[in-house]
Each structure stands twice: as structure tokens, then as C-alpha cells.
Structure 1
Amino acid sequence: MNEQSYPEFTGLELSPRKVDYLKFILEKGGTVKTTEISSGLQVDPSTTTKTLNELASAGYLNHVPYRGVNLTELGKAYTQFLIRRHRILSLLLTHYGLSSEEACSEVSRFEAFVSRDAINKICSSMGHPMFGVCGKISHENVCMKEIAIEHLTKY
């Protein structure tokens, strides 16, 4: 499943803290225990449990009490977008003189407030970059169509 399967998400549905939870779970991979999340994000276990329950109720996670959590298909698609958003914005800031480290740090402060539509437009204006300062940049189906058209018109 990919981002395009969920055209209704704008990228603004979640608070910056909930974004951190999803990214942490993606980085760990598989099923992640609540205690590991609490420790990794330096959050009280009761707060972690409450947030995980909210994310599960919204459809981003499968939460099995006393076992842990893993991403649903929606959670995976949304988290892929979160990574893409971070990488595009970080790359954008390096074009304005910030180092890779500075760009990643700055983007972490505001990325949760940038919509999916804005990211798609920024990505297009940058020529659909394949690599950012933080790694490979994936593209949505809409962007892939634009890339193919641009490629065909060049030759």
C-alpha cells in the first residue's frame, strides 16, 4: 500500500509529538514495546500508552496490550510521507546555506506544519530529487507521472 491509497490525508492530521511516535516505530521496525518507546522518546509510560491508544484508534497502529505496537497499512503510508517530507524540506534548506546537520535540526522544528500538497509542489519545483541530505527520497504516484512526462519531453 502507498500514500496514494489514502488521498484524504493532508499531512497535517497529527501533532508533532505523534509524528515522533510514528517515526520511532518505523525506525525500530516490527512490533515495538511500549517501554522501548517511552525510553526512546523520554516520555512517561502512561503518556506513551495514552498516545499509542489514540494512534491505534485513528488507524495508524495495531496495539496489543502488553505486547507492543506495529504500524498498520495506513500507518506505513503516513510514515513514508513523514520521512519524504523531512528529506525534501532538509534538502531545500541546504540550498539556502544550511549544513546537512543544521537543515535536519531546523526541519525537525517545523515539519509537522507543512502539508502534503506543499511538499508535492516543493518536490516538483526541485525537479523531483531522488536523494536528500538524510537519504533516498521516495515519490508519490502523482510525482512519478510528472517525472515520466519530464523525462519524455527532454528526449
Structure 2
Amino acid sequence: MAEEEDEAGALWRSVGWDVWGRPDGPWRGGVTSTSRYLMGGRFLASGRNIEAESWLTRAAEAGHPGAFFRLALVCLRTGRPGEALEMLVDATDRGHKDADRILGAWDDCHEESVSADDGFEHVRDAVAEPQDPAFAAEVAHLVAGLWRQT
């Protein structure tokens, strides 16, 4: 177990810090789900969405909040916006603040019936201080693009 924790810690340091990549996180699956989350992030960063989805799905099955958020990005990149919004809800339900801010901005736009351009800006700007600095801006930008389509 200590060896797994050392490997997860090394992986975490090598891919860059974010709130959800801690090997000692409180989600089920601990080190294993975190390692899967981090591997998924590596593939996501290189545009390898199929591999990213495989790793992130396994982390999400253990309830990893960050995995749901990053799966939303995979869904957005691969033309599955409905699934992406579901993943953002799942991430929010597990305490992911970026997902919560993005969905909150989306809801604000619907409630206030804002224009496509104003809605795009509002949703995109929802993650000024992200928990997942590697991917939050892209998720927000792609969700904001969905606002323009509504």
C-alpha cells in the first residue's frame, strides 16, 4: 500500500497540482481512483479522449469528483453535450466547485433569459479561480458554447 501511495504521489507531482489529484483524497478508492484520475488527465491533456475516458470512467466508478468533471470534458469534446451536463451534475453532487460554478452560471442565464453573447461570457467566466486549472477553462468555454446554441 505504501508503494502505491508513493507512485500516486509521484504521478500527482508529475502531472501538476489540482485539488482532486491528491493521493490522500477522501473519495472511495483512495490511491487507486486518484491514480486513474491522474492517468485520465494525462491522456486528456494530449487529446487522447478514448484513453482518457477509459481511465476517468474507472475513477468515477469509485466516486472520484474530479473524474466526473473531466469526463464532462470528454463528452463535450466528442459531441455528447447531454452526457456532459449529467457528468457536471454528478461532479457537483460530489463537491466539485468548478462544476457547481459552471452549472450555476448556466442556470443564471436561463433564469434571466440573457442573450447568447452575454450568456457565453457569464458561463465562460464562472471559473476564474479553478480547482482544476488544467481543464476548467476548457469545460467552461465548451459549456458556454452550448449556451449560444440554445
Q: TM-score over 0.5 for the alignment?
A: no
TM-score relative to the length of structure 1? 0.28
Query: Which of the pair has more CA radius of gyration?
Result: 1
Which of structures 1 and 2 has the larger relative contact order (alpha carbons within 8 angstroms, sep 6+)?
A: 1
Between Structure 1 and Structure 2, the one with more strand by share is 1
